[in-house]
Amino acid sequence: MISAQGKKSTTLSEQLSIKLAELVPGGVNSPFRSFEEVGGHTIFLRSAKGSKVFDVDGNSYLDYLGAWGPAILGHCHPAVIEACQKALACGPVFGAPCELELEFAQLLTQAIPSLEQVRFVNSGAEAVMTSIRLARGATGRDKIILFEGCYHGHSDPTLASRKHSVSSGIPHSYAQNGLLVAFNNLEALEKCLQEHRNEIACAIIEPVPGSMGVIAPEPGYLQGVRKLCTTYGVVLIFDEVLSGFRVAFGGAQGIYGVRPDLTCYGKAIAGGMPVGVYGGSKELMSHLMPTGKVYQAGTFSGNPVTMAGGIATIKELMKPVVFASLEVLSSRFFEGIQSQIDRLGVPVRLQRAGSLFAIVFAPRPVKNYSDSLLIDKHAYAKFFHSLLQNGIYMVPSAIDAACISAAHTKEEIDYTIEKIELALRSSFH
Is 239 marked active-site?
yes
Q: Which of 55, 57, 63, 239 is catalytic?
A: 239
Q: Distance between alpha carbon 304 and the CA centroid of its chain, in Å? A: 23
H/E segment holding residue 190: helix 186-195
Rounded CA separation 376/47 (Å): 32
SS3 28: coil
Q: Which of 55, 63, 64, 151 is catalytic?
A: 151
Paired residues of 262 in beta bridges: 237, 280
Rounded CA separation 118/223 (Å): 24
**52-55/60-63 β-pairing:** antiparallel
Paired residues of 202 in beta bridges: 144, 235
Q: Which of 7, 52, 143, 267 is catalytic?
A: 267
Paired residues of 143 in beta bridges: 200
Rounded CA separation 288/319 (Å): 34
In b/e form, how buried is each residue of 302-312, taking b as 16+ CB within 10 angstroms?
Answer: bbbbbbbbbbb
Cβ atoms of 222 and 208 within 8 Å: the answer is no
- Count CB neighbours of 180 within 10 A: 19
Q: Taking the CA atoms of 276, 280, 282 and 287 in sequence, report the sign of the dihedral they define.
A: negative
- Count CB neighbours of 429 within 10 A: 5
Query: Reading across the β-sheet that carries 402-403, which strands appear in turn?
Result: 349-353, 356-360, 402-403
Rounded CA separation 41/31 (Å): 13
Is 265 marked active-site?
no
Rounded CA separation 352/164 (Å): 26
Is 267 marked active-site?
yes
SS3 251: coil
Rounded CA separation 8/226 (Å): 52
Query: Rounded to 5 degrees, what are φ and ψ at 141?
Result: -115, 160
Rounded CA separation 260/202 (Å): 11
Give catalytic residue positions: 151, 239, 267
